[in-house]
A and B are shown apart, each in its own frame.
Chain A
Amino acid sequence: MFSTIATFKGGVHPPEAKEASRDKEIKTLELPGKVVLHLQQHIGAPLEAVVEKGAEVKVGTLIARPTGFVSVPLHATISGTVKAVEECLHPAGLNMQAVVIEGNGKDEWEPVPAVAADYSGLSVDELRKRIQEAGIVGLGGAGFPTHVKLSPPAGKTIDTFILNGAECEPYLTADFRQMLERTADLAAGIRIVRRILGCGRVILAVEDNKPEALQALAEKFGEEEGYKVTGVQTKYPQGGEKQLIEALTGRQVPTGGLPMDVGCVVQNVSTVLSIYDAVSRNLPLIEKVVTLTGPAVRNPGNYRVRVGALVEELITRVEGAVPGNLGKAIMGGPMMGLALPSLDVPVLKGTNGLVLLEEPVPVSAHLPCIRCGSCVDTCPIRLMPCELALFAENDRWDKCREYFVKDCIECGSCSYTCPAGRNLVQLIRFGKYKVISEDQRKKK
């Protein structure tokens, strides 16, 4: 059952802002008329398109295939005709190769090879293969292919699997709703992951502002050996992998290392559900549950949408959600999400929320650092953001390195807390990029 409230050092308490959508059941939105599927949906080897303009596709048709192990295939998410394979605006603001499909409104599916309802006979390798073939990647714009995370190299033993149900970003409730509405599937998915990893201990961690989800999971697992459902303190970034591992196991991922190095694997709720869908029903990742919310949204809620659907179309499908004085559209949460350059960009595999802010949007003050130390106290990695930002501003890359710029997880806690309104993350991210590219140059 639940135990005492674990947490990590540092962090901030932004307003949770989840009330607007937390009690809204997940609704499936009407099919989009068009989808844009970027070939670059994740970190790792690039994809190669296998369809051309004019090709007829169904839901689940393979449209791009991976070129390496750290990569996953991409499938059509609606049925219709490939209109183009061309550069399209990516949420990150660049133009990148994408397959554009115009829907025929029929929602025809590729016949999925029937799978036995009982998948317990599959080997661990077969399970991993299904996960890869389903095209599953983790959260965020830089989602990491999930099967890779589930394939610890020889010599590394995983003793703990952590289900990340923290959902610590303000506004977002997609994981919360899925924990409530798909508890049985989630539990089955967790058992699949445990089998793949062969680990003894599973910890299901949920922030304590979601007692219903804790309750639902606790009922599923009861006192079962090896499973522990635990509340973690509601604090940002509780759902950061490193923070969760610190809070739950007391271990720290070594700098430059991976959770695997300390025997842990962390997966979030929607990823585990996608794993369940892939293994039990042979379904590729074609849908995401997205929280559409924020002060500019009149009808906030949680919606099941097709990957590749354009944000603009999605908003118009939600009755009454058309914002009059939209000022900023954020893909993801307000702490780490991307500010969209336009609404003409698609939902990605790693998208979990769209937060729309009204004019006037909050802007930072851009005053000089007053050395209040707030950023130092809140940085969950215990960096000195004020110093890193100054070094980055003055091109002191050597100093950035000395102050561990590469360890920054870009959580945004420092910028959030800064009373001078310094754009700390932006500066630090730049410093990090400089130091990493210097490293790569040296390697060559």
Chain B
Amino acid sequence: MANILHVSSSPHIYTRESVQRIMLTVVIALLPAALGAVYLFGTRALILILVAVATAVGAEALCQKIRGVPVTIRDYSAVVTGILLAFNLPANAPWWMAVIGSVFAIAIVKQLFGGIGYNIWNPALVARAFLLASWPTTMVSNTDYPAPRGGTLSGLTLEGITQATPLQLIKNNIAPVFKQISAYSASEVETARKALDGLAGADYFGSLFWGRVGGVLGETSAALLILGAVLLLVRGYIDWRVPAGYIASVAVLAWIFGGPQGYFTGNVLFHVLSGGLLLGAFFMATDMVTSPVTRQGKWIFAVGCGALTMLIRLKGGYPEGVSYAILLMNTATPLIDSYTKPKIYGGS
């Protein structure tokens, strides 16, 4: 028995959970939506996803080599960032945009701040904001987004309406009409009214649910996003409070303020299922590193995301507000954590 004994602080056993296991599960949870994107948008989607992932992983390894720290690409966190970045690109984005976005996300937003755990903002979202600022036409063009297989860009096939993503349609083409009905011809008003009815139809929710509408790669199919989210919820890798608080606050605000025809007429399902809300609420607002650690903090964070999203969608310059809402709340996260310390056992 001349063994050398290991001496270390208690505890001496650990959970089998690991960063790697969590990130790998997130990758798996993103797969349905990724495969859906390839089905809906074809090989262009596949190429963008693969290029983004490969670049993200390569950039992570290179940065860590340069920084002289251990290379941790095996923790799959760069893969997650790559997929999420690709999910935020339209299918017509050129491949080099995926490269630039991934390098920016990993090198600037993640590694420059010290690597996993130290970044303040969600890397994929900052990179998206960067691409949006640099190539606004590709990133938010009204009409250039490709239509998905079996659907149209707006998800509607009405005569006389512009083809744009659903949120662009309501913001740029429908809402303005109702704001000043007198300025439009009777037929224009009629078209807008029909479009509005169309967006509330049962068929339309089918399209939003299955992804027969236009949008960036990862956001179109609610069904596939929810499928992946269920896996993460069951495994406890995302806290239900964040998506619940986020989606519920969007729903309430959409109902109150979201209707072009007046208060309490908003189309709740439309606002919840369209755009990037589900992708954001389940996969980006829930990013552990950039969201609060306390339960109370998670509620505040989630409701803040919801409120900001609706503020931007209804009043802001962009049709969609999910990314900026989450980034703003990421900024507030350290503050939220410090103000929501749980009441300790036996404390007064």
List residues of chain A with CB under 8 Å of any chain B CB: 12, 14-15, 93, 170, 242, 246, 252-255, 257, 312, 315, 322-323, 325-330, 334-343, 355, 357, 359, 361-365, 367-374, 376-377, 380-384, 386-387, 403-404, 407, 410, 412, 415-421, 423, 425-426, 429
7 contacts between A and B (CB under 8 A): A255-B348, A315-B1, A328-B5, A329-B5, A334-B12, A382-B344, A420-B19
| A327 touches which of B5, B295, B346 (Cβ 8 Å) | B5
Given A322-B1, A370-B289, A407 contacting B11 (CB threshold 8 A): no
CB pair B1–A343 under 8 Å, yes or no, is: yes
**B22 at the A interface (CB under 8 A):** yes
B322 to chain A, nearest CB (A): 21
Given A339-B5, A419-B15, A407 contacting B341 (CB threshold 8 A): no
Complex CA distance for A197 and B293, rounded to whole angstroms: 43
| B12 touches which of A357, A370, A374 (Cβ 8 Å) | A357
A48 to chain B, nearest CB (A): 31
B244 to chain A, nearest CB (A): 16
CB pair A368–B5 under 8 Å, yes or no, is: no
Closest 7 CB pairs of A and B: A412-B11, A368-B117, A373-B293, A426-B9, A382-B342, A419-B17, A334-B12
Contacts of B305-348 to chain A: CB distance below 8 A:
337, 341-348
8 further A-B contacts with Cβ under 8 Å, apart from A373-B293, A382-B344, A415-B10, are: A93-B7, A246-B345, A315-B1, A335-B13, A368-B117, A369-B117, A384-B294, A416-B11
Given A416-B13, A419-B21, A255 contacting B344 (CB threshold 8 A): yes
| B11 touches which of A15, A336, A371, A420 (Cβ 8 Å) | A336
B345: which A residues are within 8 A, CB to CB?
A: 242, 246, 252-253, 255, 380-382, 407
**B144 at the A interface (CB under 8 A):** no
Q: Which residue on chain B has the smallest CB distance to residue A253?
A: B346
**B239 at the A interface (CB under 8 A):** yes
B304 to chain A, nearest CB (A): 17
Complex CA distance for A257 and B176, rounded to whole angstroms: 65
Complex CA distance for A418 and B17, rounded to whole angstroms: 8
Most A-side CB within 10 Å, residue of B15, B22, B75, B342:
B15
Most A-side CB within 10 Å, residue of B17, B75, B116:
B17
Number of B interface residues at 8 Å Cβ cutoff, please give it. Answer: 44
| A421 touches which of B6, B14, B116, B293 (Cβ 8 Å) | B14
A170: which B residues are within 8 A, CB to CB?
A: 13
CB pair A242–B117 under 8 Å, yes or no, is: no
**B62 at the A interface (CB under 8 A):** no
| B288 touches which of A337, A372, A423 (Cβ 8 Å) | A372
CB pair A368–B9 under 8 Å, yes or no, is: no
Complex CA distance for A374 and B17, rounded to whole angstroms: 11
Q: Which residue on chain A has the smallest CB distance to residue B21?
A: A419
List residues of chain B with CB under 8 Å of any chain A CB: 1, 3, 5-15, 17-19, 21-22, 72, 75, 114-118, 239, 288-295, 298, 337, 341-348
Complex CA distance for A68 and B343, rounded to whole angstroms: 38
Q: Which residue on chain B has the smallest CB distance to residue A236?
A: B11
B118: which A residues are within 8 A, CB to CB?
A: 368
A174 to chain B, nearest CB (A): 18
CB pair B10–A412 under 8 Å, yes or no, is: yes
CB pair B15–A12 under 8 Å, yes or no, is: yes
CB pair A364–B342 under 8 Å, yes or no, is: no
CB pair B288–A371 under 8 Å, yes or no, is: yes
A368: which B residues are within 8 A, CB to CB?
A: 114-118
Q: Which residue on chain B has the smallest CB distance to residue A332?
A: B10
B32 to chain A, nearest CB (A): 23
B341: which A residues are within 8 A, CB to CB?
A: 384, 403
| A341 touches which of B5, B298, B346 (Cβ 8 Å) | B5
Most B-side CB within 10 Å, residue of A242, A339, A363, A372:
A372
B239: which A residues are within 8 A, CB to CB?
A: 373
| B117 touches which of A340, A370, A429 (Cβ 8 Å) | A370
B298: which A residues are within 8 A, CB to CB?
A: 373
Q: Which residue on chain A has the smallest CB distance to residue B72?
A: A367
A14: which B residues are within 8 A, CB to CB?
A: 13, 15
Q: Which residue on chain B has the smallest CB distance to residue A364?
A: B14
Q: Which residue on chain B has the smallest CB distance to residue A373?
A: B293
B19: which A residues are within 8 A, CB to CB?
A: 365, 367, 370, 419-420
CB pair A370–B116 under 8 Å, yes or no, is: yes
B10: which A residues are within 8 A, CB to CB?
A: 334-339, 410, 412, 415, 425
A312: which B residues are within 8 A, CB to CB?
A: 1
A407: which B residues are within 8 A, CB to CB?
A: 344-347
CB pair B14–A362 under 8 Å, yes or no, is: yes
A252: which B residues are within 8 A, CB to CB?
A: 345-346
Given A339-B6, A376-B293, A362 contacting B13 (CB threshold 8 A): yes
Complex CA distance for A416 and B15, rounded to whole angstroms: 6
Q: Which residue on chain B has the smallest CB distance to residue A386?
A: B293
A336: which B residues are within 8 A, CB to CB?
A: 10-11
Complex CA distance for A404 and B341, rounded to whole angstroms: 11
| A382 touches which of B7, B114, B291, B343 (Cβ 8 Å) | B343
Q: Which residue on chain B has the smallest CB distance to residue A337?
A: B10
Given A242-B345, A335-B13, A371-B117, A327 contacting B6 (CB threshold 8 A): yes
A170 to chain B, nearest CB (A): 7
A375 to chain B, nearest CB (A): 8
Complex CA distance for A290 and B342, rounded to whole angstroms: 38
CB pair A326–B294 under 8 Å, yes or no, is: no
Q: Which residue on chain A has the smallest CB distance to residue B7?
A: A339
Complex CA distance for A14 and B292, rounded to whole angstroms: 26
B3: which A residues are within 8 A, CB to CB?
A: 323, 325-327, 359
CB pair B7–A341 under 8 Å, yes or no, is: yes
Q: Which residue on chain B has the smallest CB distance to residue A377?
A: B295
| A326 touches which of B1, B21, B337 (Cβ 8 Å) | B1
B15: which A residues are within 8 A, CB to CB?
A: 12, 14, 416-419
CB pair B346–A340 under 8 Å, yes or no, is: no
Complex CA distance for A371 and B337, rounded to whole angstroms: 11
B18: which A residues are within 8 A, CB to CB?
A: 365, 419-421
